[in-house]
Structure 1
């Protein structure tokens, strides 16, 4: 079982991508393999023009298809997730997340934008037919700090939410690994 860390920030470095890598490190310590995909590294023209023939786009879509779980991270701008992430999600097939577990992460300037996950990102992710979208994790600038010496430091409530999200994703992946999806389960979904 593999996990895809999907970074939807248009800038580097970014708080959302650092949070994503923090989650990836925690998953790796639990024995999970993961791949990283930074949407900003894909060719802009190919994303904006929905060029499915572009080799980089095809490779990115194959990476999503091969993953058992996707951890999606985005900054929140003007009460919505990033446009570059939206453009990439639009390239996925109609059921591009079928039978996958999804953990949404977001960062923003204030708590005022927290609902962007539930009212903007979650419906798009759900429309792609995932097995389950786990509870979202949202962190503000004040809840995350970065230094070259210490790396990413989360305040206690966000660290607890991250640990809970990692535990839920890890346990769900283990359950899937122990009990493979049956054809009848796929039909019922």
Structure 2
């Protein structure tokens, strides 16, 4: 079965990004893709900051990336860049650790003006890590995600449609490349 790991690069689970992540997870599962979530902020901070490659938590997390066919990288955009906590984790993925994987960047930001942060900041890093199959970024504006009183999130129809469309494309692409 095709496996996807969704790497949530927010510094909290209570971010609107979690609502986007849940939507992406559901869209991939609807395509028959097995999913797993990795919350970077739940990894030991000291291991991230000190780049402790020998940490059991880091080894486990990077092994999950290695085992995945699809790597979904989710990040909020702050000050024209993806989060520092996400960068600390990406630095711990082995050189060429994304080789042969389909990488799908998903970002959320205050305005569409932040969209280019993925192209100019994140994509060069994933390319250095060996990614050659990078799906189109899905960018969601903050106001497209509402946190509900019960703690759940509601993603607006336009953003849900973009996420579902890209998940369908990814599922088709993975099926084609695994048959070749």
Q: So what's the TM-score if we normalise by structure 1?
A: 0.89
1:64 alignment counterpart: 65
- The one of the two structures with greater contact order (alpha-carbon pairs below 8 A, sep at least 6) is 2
Q: Is the 8 A contact 2:19 2:145 kept in 1?
A: no
Task: Give the Cα–Cα distance (whole angstroms) in 2 for the partners of residues 152 and 172 of structure 1.
Answer: 29
Q: Distance in 1 between matches of 2:41 and 2:151?
A: 26
Alignment of 1:82-101 (within 5 A): 82-101=83-102
Q: 2:136: which partner in 1?
A: 135
Q: Tell me how far 1:172 sits from its aligned partner.
A: 1.3
Pairwise CA RMSD: 1.5
Counterparts of residues 10-29 of structure 1 (less than 5 Å): 10-29=11-30
Is 1:4 matched with 2:14? no
Query: What is aligned with 2:170?
Result: 169
Q: Is the 8 A contact 1:16 1:105 kept in 2?
A: no
SS for the counterpart of 1:10 is coil
The answer as to whether partners of 1:22 and 1:152 remain within 8 angstroms in 2 is no
The alpha-carbon deviation at position 151 of structure 1 amounts to 4.0
Higher alpha-carbon deviation: 159-168 or 115-124: 159-168
User: Is the deviation greater in 157-166 or in 37-46?
Assistant: 157-166
Correspondence 1:51 to 2:43 = no
Cα offsets for 1:29-71 (capped at 9, x unmatched): 2211011111000000011101111100000010111100111
**Counterpart secondary structure, 2:18:** helix
User: Following the alignment from structure 1 to structure 2, what is the Cα–Cα distance between the partners of residues 150 and 171?
Assistant: 33
The question of whether the paired residues in 1 share the 8 Å contact of 2:19 and 2:155 is answered with: no
SS of 2:97's equivalent in the other structure is coil
Q: Which runs of 5+ in 1 are unaligned?
A: 180-189
Query: SS in structure 2 opposite 1:77?
Result: coil
Q: How many residues align?
A: 179
Worse-superposed segment, 156-165 or 25-34: 156-165
Which structure 2 residue ranges, 5 or more long, are not aligned?
none
